[in-house]
Chain A
Amino acid sequence: MTGTQIFLYAWGKPLLLLHTLLAILLLGSMTHNVLLVVPYLWGSFRKVKLEKLYVKVGFVSYLLTFIVGAVAYPNYRYHVRALHFDKELHWASNLFDVKEHWAGIGLALFVAYLLLSRVIEPKTDRPMLGVYVFLSVSLALIIWFNVISGLLLVSYRSI
């Protein structure tokens, strides 16, 4: 059994590049989103339509980033983690696992966030804003953490 038999082995680098580009789109949309959502807490409701557009763009880019990452994951698991990180850089293996688990939890947060974004009117639905802002901030933090840790990890070794 060799590593070349791993699913989409030959497509490792293009998939990683696509994963990174989608993550940049995601980071941009959700950073803009959180900057518009947090001011809801003190009654500033500027650009509500634009904020909801960022949620849609963010959700699609999150889903695509997630799928491409999941497809490229077996390649990482063997060629990077098993052959290098687990032997030489334990902290890198652990950091990647935090990233993957947080991304897994973020998936559910984004499903809930998209649904709330479609039904909530921020100006009138004040009791719902706490959870809405919480989801936006949590997602932004997860995405920022994942992008930074992902870039750090590929600077050591990549597929």
Chain B
Amino acid sequence: MQQSSTPYFSKQSLYAIAVSFCGVYAFAYFITEIVPVPLLWYYPLERSWAYGSGNLPPGLMMGWYGKVLFCLVVASLVSGLLAAGLKLSKRELPASAQSLLDLAAMSSVLFALYYIARSMAYRAL
């Protein structure tokens, strides 16, 4: 593989950062489905916001905005840490670690998509 296609990060580093971002994001999405993570909630009728996981004000509420925001923050933090680590160490991920990361990210995405479809298919309102 070629090195240094960009001035700041090598191609392999950018690849690892991108793969970790989507894998961590999908995993975080799954976590918000099974664990009551504190999120931002929107109340469309009141046009107001609340933050938390329990003891929230009653009413029609929407958690999707907060969920997407939470996953974006978590994925950015983790892939940012990986980017900083790669930059500071001036090394690339070993090929075996990269293969594991690829596999973990793809599995995470597939499982999150499957879990959501399955849980919605059986959800009683």
A contacts, CB < 8 Å to B: 1, 3, 5-7, 70, 73-75, 77-78, 82, 86, 90, 93-95, 97-98, 100-102, 104-105, 107-109, 111-113, 115-116, 119-121, 124-125, 127-128, 130-131, 134-135, 138, 142
List CB contacts (< 8 Å) of B1-45 with chain A.
1-2, 5-6, 11, 14-15, 17-19, 21-22, 25-26, 29, 42, 44-45
Check A73–B64 contact: CB distance below 8 A: yes
In this complex, how many residues of chain B approach chain A with their Cβ under 8 Å: the count is 45
The answer to whether the Cβ of B124 comes within 8 Å of any Cβ in the partner chain is: yes
A-B contact pairs, 26 of them (CB 8 A): A6-B47, A7-B44, A74-B44, A77-B44, A82-B60, A86-B125, A94-B120, A94-B121, A97-B123, A101-B116, A102-B116, A107-B68, A108-B22, A108-B26, A109-B22, A112-B19, A115-B14, A115-B18, A116-B18, A119-B11, A119-B15, A120-B11, A121-B2, A128-B15, A131-B106, A135-B22
Q: Cβ of A7: which chain B residues have Cβ within 8 Å of it?
A: 44, 47
Q: Cβ of A94: which chain B residues have Cβ within 8 Å of it?
A: 120-121, 123, 125
CB-nearest residue of chain A to B42? A74
Give Cα distance in the complex from A95 to B1, angstroms: 43
Contact of A101 among B14, B29, B44, B60 (CB under 8 A): B29
The answer to whether the Cβ of B51 comes within 8 Å of any Cβ in the partner chain is: no
Q: Cβ of B86: which chain A residues have Cβ within 8 Å of it?
A: none
Check B64–A108 contact: CB distance below 8 A: no
B contacts, CB < 8 Å to A: 1-2, 5-6, 11, 14-15, 17-19, 21-22, 25-26, 29, 42, 44-47, 60, 62, 64-65, 67-68, 71-72, 75, 95, 98, 102, 105-106, 109-110, 112-113, 116-117, 120-121, 123-125
Check A70–B45 contact: CB distance below 8 A: no
Given A86-B125, A90-B124: A6 touches B1 (CB 8 Å cut-off): no
Given A100-B64, A124-B1: A5 touches B47 (CB 8 Å cut-off): yes
- A107 to B: closest C-beta gap in Å: 7
Check B19–A131 contact: CB distance below 8 A: yes
Residue from the set B22, B71, B109, B112 with the largest chain A CB neighbour count within 10 Å:
B22
